[in-house]
């Protein structure tokens, strides 16, 4: 979800879901309170049901009609870009993303840091963002975060 939101924001300057993401040790994570609210609405609306393993599954299509073609195409493009990667690889990339790097631990991610992403296809090299040029203001903010 994080990469779908980040890629869409990079291209269109807005988020698809509008959900805030938090920086934690595991990577960018949707805000607990916003996610809980959305899940409660889906459960109460009958869109999610519990299966035998006590896990929730979608009962019907989750109203994809509310997503326009531009958003659906962007979701497909991001899925195509990352689907072959393992969970560990995706985690490593998320931890290297400037959006994640620019946030303080347990604070909301600022998607405007997307402008510092490397334009090349993501890779798993040690220094994925070596060619990023930060503005003086961004350098000060990032240095303050790691100091």
pLDDT of 11-24, one tens digit each? 999 999 889 999 99
Asked if 24 and 106 touch (Cβ cutoff 8 Å), the reply is: yes
Asked if 20 and 71 touch (Cβ cutoff 8 Å), the reply is: no
pLDDT at 38 over 60: yes
* pTM to 2 decimal places: 0.71
Whole-number percent of the chain with pLDDT over 90: 44
- As for how many domains the chain has, the answer is 1
Phi, psi of 49 (to 5 degrees): -130, 155
Domain holding 24, by residue range, is 2-146
């Amino acid at each position: 979800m994080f990469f779908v939101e980040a890629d869409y924001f990079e291209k269109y300057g807005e988020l698809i879901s509008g959900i805030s993401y938090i920086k934690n040790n595991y990577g960018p994570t949707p805000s607990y309170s916003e996610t809980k609210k959305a899940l409660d609405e889906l459960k109460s609306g009958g869109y999610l049901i519990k299966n035998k393993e006590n896990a929730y599954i979608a009962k019907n299509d989750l109203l994809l009609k509310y997503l326009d073609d531009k958003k659906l195409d962007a979701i497909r493009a991001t899925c195509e870009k990352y689907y072959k990667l393992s969970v560990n690889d995706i985690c490593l990339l998320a931890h290297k993303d400037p959006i994640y790097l620019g946030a303080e631990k347990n604070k909301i991610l600022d998607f405007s840091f997307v402008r510092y992403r490397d334009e090349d296809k993501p890779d798993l090299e040690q220094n994925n963002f070596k060619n990023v040029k930060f503005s003086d203001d961004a350098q000060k903010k990032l240095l303050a975060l790691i100091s």
